Amino acid sequence: MARIRPDRPNVIVFFTDQQRWDAAGVFGNPLELMPNFDRMATQGTHVYNCFTCQPVCGPARASLQTGLYATNTGCFRNGIAIQPDAVTLGHLFRQAGYRTGYIGKWHLGEHGPGAVDPQFRSGYDDWLGSNALEFTSDAYNTVMYDGAGKPVKLPGYRVDALTDAAIRYIDQHQAQPFYLMMSFIEPHFQNHRDDYPAPDGYEERYRGRWIPPDLAALGGTTHQHLAGYWGMIKRLDEALGRLLDALKSLGLREDTIVLFTTDHGCHFKTRNGEYKRSCHDSSIRLPTALTGPGFESGGQLREMVSLVDLPATLLDAAGLPVPAHFQGGSILPLTRGEREGWPEEVYVQISESQVGRCIRTKRWKYSVVAPDGDGGKDPYAARYVEEFLYDVASDPYELRNLVHEASHAEVRAMLRQRLIARMIEAGEKAPTIEPAESRPSGQRLGFAEGEVGLETPRRLKL
C-alpha cells in the first residue's frame, strides 16, 4: 500500500488492566520485566507520578474515554453502561478526520460480557472487542466480537492475539491518520479461577524472586499469584516492543503518539478482600509513559498527574481542541516546563468496596470513608470519616497509618480542606469530614490493616 504521510500524528493507546506501577525498571523493579516500557519512558516522556481517578475497571475506563470523573459519567461503579450521547475520544478523533479503532476489553456496554451494542461503542469506526474480556476468553482461548456482533476466535496467547490484530489494523490504515485503542485484560486475574495465567513457561521464571515491600510485609495472595502476574507483564512488554517494531518497519514511528498506561493497580488482597478499590498506591498508582510527536525527550515529569488528564493530553498532542467540559488538563505544557497552575495533588474517588475519597500529594496520602455509604449504590455521601494518612515520602509502601496520631493533626486539617475543595471542583457537594480520633504519638492502641508502625512528620510540606 502506498503510504501518504498524515498531516496529523496517529495515536495509539496501549492500555493494560490492573498493572502495578512498580513492575517497571524505571521504578526500581530488578526483574527486567518491562525493558521496552523503560526505554519508552527514558527516551520519551515518563509520567512518574500518575494515578487513576477511580481504582476499578469500568469507572476508570469511562474517565479515560470522556475526560470526566466517574461520578460525572454516571459510571461510578462496574456494571453501568456509558451513555450513548457521552462525548468520547472516539467521537472527537473521528470528527477530526481520524479513523478510529478499538481492540480488546470495553467494560462499558449494557448487555452482558460479550458483544457490545453499536450505540455503546462511543464513536469507534472499527470494532473487535468484548464487553468483559475476562469472561469471554482465557489465556489461550481469545474470543472477541466484530462490528456485526459475531464472535471471532483469535490464535495465540491472549496478549499476542490482540497485538497481532492491532498490527494488522495499523498496516491496513497507513494512508489515513488513525486513533487506535488496544485494551488488554492482562495482567488482570482470570475471574473463573482467580488466577493470573502467564504464558507457558513464564510463571516459572519469577517464582521466589523479588517481592514489592508492601506485599512482602502484608502477604495476601502474593506467594500464590505474583509469579504469574509478573509473567503476564513480561509478555505485555514484549507485545509493546512488537508494536513499536511494527511502527518502525512501516515508517510510522515518527508520526505516531503511543501512550502506555493502565486503569488501576493490584494489591493482592492485602488491603481489603480483593485486588483494588482502595486508596493505596498499590491500587491507584499507574505506570505511564508517552512517545512520539511532542513527547520525544520529554524527560521525567514529577508533577501529580491523573488518568483524567490523559484524554486532554492526547487531543492536545494531536493538535485537536480540548472540550471545555473536560475535567482533566493536558500535560503537554509540562513537557515544556510550563508548570504554573498545575494541581499539587490528584483526586481519587473509590466505589464498590466503600464510598471513599482521597487525595495524593508528593508527600502525603489522605483518605476518608463514608460510614453510612453503600459502595455499590451510592456515588456520593454527605458525611465521611478520616481513614488513612500516610507520609509517602518516608513510607512509600504505606505501611504506617498516621491518621490517629495527634502529632499529625495539623497535616490532617490542611489535607481535609484540600480534599473538600477537590470534591467540590469535581462536581460534588461539600461534605462533612469528621476527624479521626487522635492519640498521643507513639501510643500503640492496635493497628489498622496494613499498619506496622508509627512516625512523626519532619515538616508540614505538602
Q: Which three-class secondary structure state does DSSP give residue 230?
A: helix
- pLDDT per residue over 212-235, tens digit each? 999 999 999 999 999 999 999 999
Is 68 in the same domain as 157? Answer: yes
Is 46 in the same domain as 158? Answer: yes
Answer whether residue 456 shows pLDDT above 70: no
Q: Quote the pTM value.
A: 0.94
Q: What is the DSSP letter of 280?
A: S
* Residue 406 covered by a domain: yes
Q: Rounded to an integer, what distance in angstroms lies between the CA atom of residue 150 and that of residue 146? A: 6
Q: Name residue, grid cell 488496544.
A: 182
- pLDDT per residue over 385-440, tens digit each? 999 999 999 999 999 999 999 999 999 999 999 999 999 999 999 999 999 988 77
* Residue 458 covered by a domain: no
Q: Contact 34/280 with Cβ under 8 angstroms?
A: no
* Residue 344 covered by a domain: no
Count of domains observed in the chain: 2
Is 25 in the same domain as 57? Answer: yes
Among candidate residues 335, 367, 392, the one where a domain is terminated:
335
CATH number, domain of 374, equals 3.30.1120.10
- Count Cβ neighbours within 10 Å for each residue of 223-243 and write b for 16 or more, e otherwise: eebbbbbbbbbbbbbbbbbbb
Among candidate residues 277, 308, 335, the one where a domain is terminated:
335
Q: Output the pLDDT for position 438.
A: 81
Is 174 in the same domain as 278? Answer: yes
Phi and psi based region of residue 199 (left: phi greater than 0; alpha: psi -120 to 50; beta: remaining): beta
* Residue 454 covered by a domain: no
Is 229 in the same domain as 119? Answer: yes
Is 84 in the same domain as 204? Answer: yes
Q: Contact 187/232 with Cβ under 8 angstroms?
A: yes
The rounded mean pLDDT for the chain is: 93
* Residue 346 covered by a domain: no
Is 282 in the same domain as 392? Answer: no
Residues of the domain holding 363:
354-434
CATH number, domain of 123, equals 3.40.720.10
* Residue 167 covered by a domain: yes
Q: Find the DSSP H helices in 392-448.
A: 409-425
Is 294 in the same domain as 429? Answer: no
Is 273 in the same domain as 364? Answer: no
Is 55 in the same domain as 197? Answer: yes
* Residue 409 covered by a domain: yes
Angle in degrees, 0-180, between the axes of helices 310-317 and 57-66, rounded to the nearest 10 = 30
* Residue 139 covered by a domain: yes
Is 222 in the same domain as 139? Answer: yes
Is 147 in the same domain as 240? Answer: yes
- Most distant CA pair in the chain: distance in Å? 73
- pLDDT per residue over 132-158, tens digit each? 999 999 999 999 999 999 999 999 999
